[in-house]
Amino acid sequence: MKILKLRSSYLAAFLLFSQCGHAQNNKGRIDFETYNPPSSLVVPEHLITRAKFPFIDIHNHQGNMPTQNLKILISEMDKLNMKTMVNLSGRNGDFLALAVKNARSVDPGRLIVFANPDFSGIGESNYGNKASKQIEDDVKAGAQGLKIFKSLGFSVKDNKGSLVAVDDPRLKPIWEKCAQLGIPVLIHTADPKQFWDEPNDQNERWLELLTQPGRKRSVSDGFSWEALIKQQHNLIKNNPRTNFIIAHFGWYANNLDFLGSLLDTYPNMNVEFGAVIAELGRQPRRAKQFFEKYQDRILFGKDSWVPSEYTTYFRVLETEDEYFPYHKKYHAYWKMYGIGLSDAILKKIYYKNAIRLIPGIDRTQFPN
């Protein structure tokens, strides 16, 4: 009931927001979404639909891989010059084994599957052994990494019904097993901080929260944003032998100096920029400096599988284009600028860093 009321209130606010703008159009006023004129700026444009080098997408989701027609997927990957996709939705057990089998039967090496741990039974005396054994079995079945969804910290509960923190010590056998097996852990913790802030004209994500009210977060839901992020950093610190890939730049793509300080502090921390390319595209000079300094710690990630949206990523990374649109206005109402990375750095971002962290990638698919 509480959620329903919340969604209703946001819907009402959105309708009022839209109606007010449209109602006053005749008075020379217009709402934010309607006002989207084509730019009169004349500058060089490079609409890149295919990456300059073959690349590995470290962050993607294919939820039906055991039965999916993967030939169609690989055909779409070829158009983008995506040589390898990492499917983070591999689950575990029989589902994962069938996903790996289907992927390898179509085109070995093109599709990598990460396992997802089973969090049921946390608090039971044998949970650690059970969870680490499942990961070991999944790796034997073909998993090449582990993915932790944001449900850890949001909704995962122990056997007594208590919310489980990201850095809960009862999960340590999982991270130790990954270190032992030499596989990375790609972890998504929390959401953008603005989802916890008041949805008003001081919030850059206001339009997103109006149109996607289910994304609004509250401290009453559980941990605060600050607590969740601190838990993630504790996890990295407390498990120095485990290689972590932090999804979405750890929600610090808008504060690269602080993100850099984390990378300086934790040598086992790496990042990928799925769904936050808009933050990098609005600060091209600072972002380029960051990529140059941390070129060995950044991996290419996209998240949602929408082939047409990769153009924005290629254009930000490869060109020095100015003032071009992002593909979702509710994510970014501002314009993008190209970073213009060198070929040497592009190769690291596109594939070399992933090859270093993920075991079993066919290196022969990629240039030196």
Q: Which of 11-20, 77-86, 223-232, 240-249 has the lowest mean pLDDT?
A: 11-20
Q: Is residue 253 part of a domain?
A: yes
State how far the Cα of 54 lies from the Cα of 349, in Å rounded to an integer: 11
Does residue 18 sit in the same domain as residue 134?
no
Does residue 311 sit in the same domain as residue 243?
yes
Does residue 72 sit in the same domain as residue 20?
no
Domain count, the chain: 2
Per-residue burial over 226-245, b if 16 or more Cβ lie within 10 Å, else e, is eebbbbbbebbeebeebbbb
Quickly tell me which residue has 């891989």 as its tokens: 65
Q: Output the domain CATH number for residue 143.
A: 3.20.20.140
State how far the Cα of 294 lies from the Cα of 280, in Å rounded to an integer: 14
Contact 351, 56 (CB under 8 A): yes
Report percent pLDDT > 90 for the chain. Answer: 86
Q: Is residue 187 part of a domain?
A: yes
Does residue 81 sit in the same domain as residue 8?
no
Query: How many Cα atoms sit within 13 Å of 251 on the Cβ side?
Result: 18
Does residue 164 sit in the same domain as residue 63?
yes
Does residue 29 sit in the same domain as residue 73?
no
Label residue 8 by pLDDT band (50, 70, 90): very low
pLDDT in tens, 126-184: 999 999 999 999 999 999 999 999 999 999 999 999 999 999 999 999 999 999 999 99
pLDDT in tens, 308-357: 999 999 999 999 999 999 999 888 989 999 999 999 999 999 999 999 99
Whole-model pTM: value is: 0.92
Does residue 262 sit in the same domain as residue 145?
yes
Task: Specify the pLDDT at position 37.
Answer: 86
Does residue 18 sit in the same domain as residue 78?
no
Q: Is residue 41 part of a domain?
A: no
Question: Which residues make Cβ contacts (< 8 Å) with residue 138, sequence separation at least 6?
Answer: 90, 92, 93, 96, 97, 115
- Mean pLDDT (the chain) is 93
Does residue 256 sit in the same domain as residue 306?
yes
Does residue 124 sit in the same domain as residue 63?
yes
Label residue 27 by pLDDT band (50, 70, 90): low
Residue 82: domain span: 59-365
Does residue 96 sit in the same domain as residue 3?
no
Q: Is residue 42 part of a domain?
A: no
Contact 66, 194 (CB under 8 A): no
What single letter denotes the amino acid at residue 170? R
State how far the Cα of 271 lies from the Cα of 285, in Å rounded to an integer: 19
Task: Specify the pLDDT at position 10.
Answer: 44
Instruction: Work out the average pLDDT over 207-221.
Output: 91
Does residue 308 sit in the same domain as residue 349?
yes
Q: Is residue 54 part of a domain?
A: no
Q: Is residue 212 part of a domain?
A: yes
